[in-house]
């Protein structure tokens, strides 16, 4: 692919330093990908430094424990802070990076100011969201400045289309999806049986898992409507909901469940840190999102565990799942239930074959080593300044 020969050509050049500037380090998809990239790369060729505009958040400790230098600018969210810009200048002087890579809107903005002031020669934006997050002023300014960075990385094709509609016109788009540790997310039937027992789910149950925080974009009303529809034909069905806000103290959620009359079929787990084993307890993992998805990590994680998925056609869900599961229209409970039935109606061995195909798809396309190699090829090409990087992939 374009750019790969550049990575090979400059494989033996001096070590490159990449400073990553991110808005914050609370748990999230961008933050997780940054942590995996910074800690999992080739340390003989690349030195990664992580700079949080705010503080260390929930992920800073693990980044520092991996031996990656970590700095914070101490900027309060949504509060302009010229002193934070000066702190960034000190960090850039300390590490003298070959490349400054920024993650998320406000970091893109701050990094662009640093580039305009001549504090860094090479700049990459990493754009993650397909939602309109941040002020309209920030969005308009970033669209206007979008030709400033050497490249703009998107982790989803949906995200690229979204930002093009906002007026982004970069010199080059680079599509590098999220990467996953396929050894940590792996098939383990015995662990799945133990997890079911721990959750109090019987062997004969058909388990559908929704791993999604409580947020309008996740459209829990559609999920629960589909659950009621599916349960009428499948008395063995059980529905597990995991994520922030997925708990009985959420009165709005409890009203939605009660309205569908399926309270005895639903298990609420709240926010969990052990999704790698929770996935294994499911027969199907699903997303019912109505909007806003870019690259839904949970689909790739579940598929890496050998669990087939059904999702609404939002973001890059169809690209991730391929023909291993099912894609259905958003905001359509009957269609979502039909997608589940498509898999539930298969013989056990055929459903297992779907799961195996799902894992094989993730290993081939989204294994962490594959994705890190694509980032590293891009870094070397941009640092060399000799490669014509055109198109949407590297």
Distance (Å, rounded) from C-alpha 228 to C-alpha 233?
A: 9
Name the percent of the chain lying above pLDDT 70.
92
* Residues with Cβ within 8 Å of residue 137, at least 6 apart in sequence: none
Q: Do 115 and 164 share a structural domain?
A: yes
Based on the domain organization, do 104 and 241 belong to the same domain? no
Q: Are residues 171 and 287 in the same domain?
A: no
| pLDDT at 137 (0 to 100) | 82
Give pLDDT tens digits for 172-200.
999 999 999 999 999 999 999 999 999 99
SS3 assignment, position 168: coil
Q: Is the pLDDT of residue 30 over 50?
A: yes
Cβ atoms 155, 33 nearer than 8 A: yes
Q: Are residues 307 and 200 in the same domain?
A: yes
Cα separation of 100 and 110, whole Å? Answer: 11
- Do 58 and 26 form a contact (C-beta atoms < 8 A)? yes
Q: In terms of domains, do 113 and 207 share one?
A: no
Q: What is the CATH number of the domain that holds 12?
A: 3.40.50.2000
Query: Does one domain contain both 169 and 198?
Result: no
Residue whose tokens read 């997890």: 195
| Alpha-carbon gap, residue 66 to 141, rounded angstroms | 35
Instruction: Encode pLDDT of 73-132 as tens digits.
Output: 999 876 667 889 999 999 999 999 999 999 999 999 999 999 999 999 999 999 987 665
pLDDT of residue 132: 54
Rounded CA separation 127/146 (Å): 11
Q: Are residues 227 and 121 in the same domain?
A: no
268, 275 contact by CB (below 8 A): no
Question: Are residue 270 and residue 302 in the same domain, yes or no?
Answer: yes
Residue 391 lies in a domain: no
Specify the pLDDT at position 389: 46
Sequence-separated (6 or more) residues with CB below 8 Å from residue 335: 328, 329
Average pLDDT taken over every residue of the chain: 92
Domain around 39: 4-179+367-384
Task: Give the C-alpha separation, 247 to 253, whole Å.
Answer: 8
Is 390 part of a structural domain of the chain? Answer: no
Residues 94 and 200 in one domain: no
If asked whether residues 68 and 154 sit together in one domain, one would say yes
Q: In this structure, is residue 389 part of a structural domain?
A: no
Q: How large is the average pLDDT for residues 261-268?
A: 97
Residue 358 and residue 371 in one domain: no
**39-48 burial by CB neighbour count: b if 16+ within 10 A, else e?**
bbbeeebbbb
Residues 294-331 have pLDDT tens digits of 999 999 999 999 999 999 999 999 999 999 999 999 99
**Structural domain total, the chain:** 2
DSSP state of 240: E
Q: Kindly state the average pLDDT of the residues 239-254.
A: 97
């Amino acid at each position: 692919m374009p750019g790969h020969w550049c990575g090979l050509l400059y494989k033996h050049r001096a070590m490159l330093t990449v400073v990553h500037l991110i808005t914050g380090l609370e748990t999230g998809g961008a933050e997780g990908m940054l942590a995996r990239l910074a800690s999992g790369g080739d340390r003989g060729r690349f030195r990664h430094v992580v700079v949080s505009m705010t503080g260390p958040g929930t992920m800073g400790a693990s980044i520092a424990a991996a031996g990656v230098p970590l700095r914070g600018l101490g900027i309060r969210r949504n509060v302009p802070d010229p002193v934070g810009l000066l702190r960034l200048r000190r960090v850039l002087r300390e590490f003298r990076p070959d490349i400054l890579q920024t993650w998320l809107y406000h970091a893109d903005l701050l990094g662009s100011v640093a580039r305009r002031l001549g504090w860094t020669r090479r700049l990459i934006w990493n754009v993650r969201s397909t939602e309109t997050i941040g002020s309209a002023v920030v969005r308009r300014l970033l669209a206007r400045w979008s030709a400033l960075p050497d490249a703009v990385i998107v982790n989803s094709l949906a995200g690229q289309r979204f930002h093009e509609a906002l007026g982004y016109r970069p010199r080059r788009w680079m599509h590098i999806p999220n990467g996953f540790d396929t050894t940590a997310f792996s098939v383990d039937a015995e662990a799945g049986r133990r997890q079911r027992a721990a959750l109090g789910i019987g062997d004969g149950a058909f388990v559908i898992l929704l791993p999604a925080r409580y947020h309008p974009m996740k459209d829990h009303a559609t999920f629960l409507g589909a659950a009621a529809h599916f349960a009428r034909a499948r008395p063995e069905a059980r529905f597990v909901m995991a994520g922030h806000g997925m708990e009985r103290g959420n009165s709005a959620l409890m009203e939605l469940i009660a309205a569908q009359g399926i309270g005895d079929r639903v298990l609420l787990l709240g926010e969990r840190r052990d999704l790698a084993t929770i996935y294994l307890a499911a027969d199907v993992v699903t997303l019912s999102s109505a909007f806003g998805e870019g690259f839904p990590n949970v689909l790739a994680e579940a598929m890496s565990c050998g669990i087939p998925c059904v999702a609404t056609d939002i973001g890059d869900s169809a690209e991730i799942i391929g023909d291993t599961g099912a894609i259905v229209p958003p905001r359509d409970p009957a269609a979502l239930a039909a997608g589940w039935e498509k898999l539930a109606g298969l013989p056990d061995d055929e459903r297992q074959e779907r799961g195996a195909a799902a894992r094989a798809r993730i290993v081939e396309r989204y294994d962490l080593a594959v994705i890190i190699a694509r980032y590293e090829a891009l870094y070397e090409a941009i640092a060399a300044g000799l490669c014509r990087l055109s198109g949407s992939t590297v």
